[in-house]
Amino acid sequence: MSTLLRLNGITKAFAGVHALKGVPFDLEPGEVHALVGENGAGKSTLIKVITGAHAPDQGTLEVQGTLVEHNDPVRARALGIAAIYQQPALFPELTVAENIALGLETGGAWRRIRWGERCTRAQRLLARIGAAIDAEAPVRGITMPEQQLVEIARALGANARILIMDEPTASLSDQEVANLFRVIRELKGQGVGIIYISHRLEELPQVADRVTALRDGSLVATRKMGDVNRAELVRLMVGRELSAVFPKQTVELGETVLEVRDLGCRESGVSGVGFRVRAGEILGLAGLVGAGRTELARVLFGLTPADSGQILLRGRAVTIDRPERAVVLGIAYVPEDRRRHGVVLEMPVAANMTLATLRAVSAHGLIDFRRERAVATDLVRRLAVKTATIDTPVGHLSGGNQQKVALARWLAAEPAVLILDEPTQGVDVGAKAEIHRLMGELAARGMAIVMISSELPEILGMSDRIVVLHGGRVAGTLDRAEATQEAIMELALGHLPAHGAAS
């Protein structure tokens, strides 16, 4: 069989800045070819050239030996190219079956819709990837991981020969990841070629045959996956030794800042939760998908107020019935889905960074733009945000830099408690290390941090103590010294480890 996809010398520049510099790339039938690099390395631009969203300034694209000229999204789909992106592009008011149909059905506006066939096809595609999702459910009512699976099902239904997966496991549980890898193996057996983009380097040996690393728009190397380890991949991506992805600082802990006693919320499924967080402490919240971690964060921030138990700040009982009250009390929350809830993509960097502190940059009800720009410029410098100017829309930034802007908004408010939900999800190893370094600096300044993460290395590497949730309750609490991946998983599954666990 001929090579499925071949790119030769792809060059692309935007406003004189080269995003790609003569990049070659190829994909064989039945192969998973991983594409890695820091945010801004050129991965997204290369994918957009393949899918027809961008036309290269130089270079050629071939599909099964045939030169493709004047590529565009419609032609790319006709050539059997499909892409699954990290952020699902679904219509929330339509059902799962309708969203899948939009990517598959053709015909005129007055064609007859066969609703039964549409639903049956959607349910069959979902079952193929092991997704227990009702095809007739509205998308607005399903979770982010479920939306990701709907996107995958839609791409599979299009019978793509070249499938691009951009961070497909970012929002999936371990079981859902295992299902996805099973589907990938099936597709490989059918001759489908897969371009696999992921910042989770530890999963690449499980799924990839080859790996290509980009840096600053240029090809660094293409290797067989079995010939490189994680440390070598990091060196290829960042061009230097990464001294520590988890630069944990030793901080002298202060007084208890946040205490939760027997906290419950029927709407969120949280019940009888209790823990404490001290000044300078990073408390990790671990658990499987559906354990109640994000739900607990939403209760603490007043998005779904508690209906039982107590929340105490510096020993004083408080009522948090809405986010505005949480902010006044000094609690900040950076949510999991930064693109929907963490930043306003259309607004510039400066406006995003000062949204939580408008009173501080306003006078007589009007924004003092000079003060706003001064605050934003300082935050961009402190957090090393990579942006052309503070007037650049946040939607133009990479994922890691969007996350930094979301963090900056709350740092400007100088909260006492910072809740971070999946703070490094979908960002590259360099940005991950920077965010971890920042967390350490904030803890050293006396901030109490609650960190939710699905990555056990992150939980183990950054937490002083770890609270493990199961079924909306605390299954156990582990000190840093006694915490292991095995101990956390035992508690997350509802089992008590052999050595016991503090509660």
Residue 456: inside a domain: yes
**What are the strands, taking DSSP E only, across 266-330?**
270-278, 282-286, 308-313, 316-318
Residues 460 and 357 grouped into a single domain = no
Q: What does the pLDDT average to over 279-283?
A: 96
Residue 147 amino acid letter: Q
116 lies in the same domain as 262 = no
Q: Sorting pLDDT into bands at 50, 70 and 90, what band is 418?
A: very high
389 shares its domain with 486 = no
- pTM for this structure? 0.59
CA 332 and chain centroid, separation? 19
**Structure confidence by residue, pLDDT tens digits, 463-480:** 999 999 999 999 999 999
Where does a domain end: 209, 238, 267? 238
Residue 63's pLDDT band (boundaries 50, 70, 90)?
Answer: very high
How far apart CA 85 and CA 151 sit, in angstroms, is 8
- Split at pLDDT 50, 70, 90, the class of 284 is very high
Are 194 and 318 members of one domain?
no
- Report which listed range, 35-39, 288-292, 436-440, is most confident: 436-440
Model pLDDT, residue 1: 67
| For the chain, percent of residues with pLDDT exceeding 90 | 46
* CATH code of the domain in which 319 resides: 3.40.50.300
d(CA 253, CA 324): 28
Residue 495 located in a structural domain:
yes
Q: What is the pLDDT of residue 486?
A: 82
Q: Flag whether 290 is in a domain.
A: yes
Contact 442, 435 (CB under 8 A): no
Determine the Cα–Cα distance for residues 163 and 184; give it in Å rounded to an integer.
10
Query: CA-CA distance, 1 to 146, in Å (whole number)?
Result: 35
Residue 313 makes CB contacts below 8 A (sequence gap 6+) with: 257, 258, 329, 330, 331, 416, 417
Tell me which H or E stretch contains 58. Answer: strand 58-63
Which residue would you say has higher pLDDT here, 457 or 269? 269
Question: What pLDDT, in 10s, does the model give residues 17-53?
Answer: 788 999 999 999 999 999 998 767 889 899 999 999 9
Q: Per-residue confidence at 110, pLDDT binned at 50, 70, 90?
A: low
503: pLDDT strictly greater than 50: no
Task: Domain of residue 498: give its range.
Answer: 254-330+416-503
261 and 381 housed in the same domain: no
Distance from the Cα of residue 482 to its chain's centroid: 28
Rounded to whole angstroms, how far apart are CA atoms 81 and 61?
A: 13
Same domain as 441, residue 321:
yes
- Give the model's confidence band at 103: pLDDT under 50 very low, under 70 low, under 90 confident, else very high: low
Which of 238, 262, 279 corresponds to the end of one domain? 238
Q: What share of the chain is helix, strand, coil (3-state, %, to 5)?
A: 35, 25, 40
Half-sphere exposure of 69 toward its Cβ, with a 13 Å CA cutoff? 0
Same domain, 326 and 369: no
Tokens representing residue 256 in the block = 């208890």
Task: Give the SS3 label for residue 91.
Answer: coil
Residue 230 has pLDDT above 90, yes or no: no
User: Same domain for 201 and 96?
Assistant: yes
In a domain, 442, yes or no: yes
pLDDT given at position 277: 97
β-strands 210-215, 32-36: how paired? parallel
Would you place residue 414 in the very low, low, confident or very high pLDDT band (cuts 50, 70, 90)? confident
At residue 342, the pLDDT reads: 67
Mark out the alpha helices in 194-259 (DSSP H runs).
204-207, 230-238
In this predicted structure, the answer to whether residue 169 has a pLDDT above a threshold of 90 is no
- pLDDT tens digits, 152-167: 888 888 778 999 998 8
Spatial separation of the C-alpha atoms in residues 482 and 499, rounded to whole Å: 10
The top-scoring range by mean pLDDT among 46-60, 135-149, 473-487 is: 46-60
Indicate whether 244 belongs to any domain: no
Q: Please give the Cα distance from 161 to 5 (Å, whole number).
A: 10
Q: pLDDT category, 262, cuts 50, 70, 90?
A: very high
Average pLDDT rounded to a whole number, residues 260-280 = 96
DSSP, collapsed to helix, strand or coil, labels residue 175 as helix
Tell me whether residue 249 is in a domain.
no
Whole-number Å distance between alpha carbons of 90 and 81: 19
Quick one: 294 and 406 in the same domain? Answer: no
What total of structural domains would you count in the chain?
Answer: 3
Per-residue model confidence (pLDDT) at position 501: 46
Would the pLDDT of 98 be above 80? yes
The more confidently predicted of residues 210 and 486 is 210
SS3 of 426-484: CCCHHHHHHHHHHHHHHHHCCCEEEEECCCHHHHHHHCCEEEEEECCEEEEEEECCCCC
Read off the pLDDT of each residue in 264-279 and give the average, rounded to a whole number.
95
What residues contact 385, with CB distance under 8 A and at least 6 apart? 349, 379, 397, 401, 404, 405, 408
Out of 372, 393, 414, pick the residue that ends a domain.
414
Is residue 248 domain-resident?
no
- The mean-pLDDT minimum among 51-55, 339-343, 452-456 falls in 339-343
Strand ranges, E, within 64-137 = 66-67, 81-84
12 and 30 assigned to the same domain = yes
CA distance 152 to 164: 10
Same domain, 497 and 389: no
Q: Are both 116 and 233 inside the same structural domain? A: yes
Tell how strand 162-166 and strand 17-27 pair up. Answer: unpaired
**Residue 338 lies inside a defined structural domain of this protein:** no
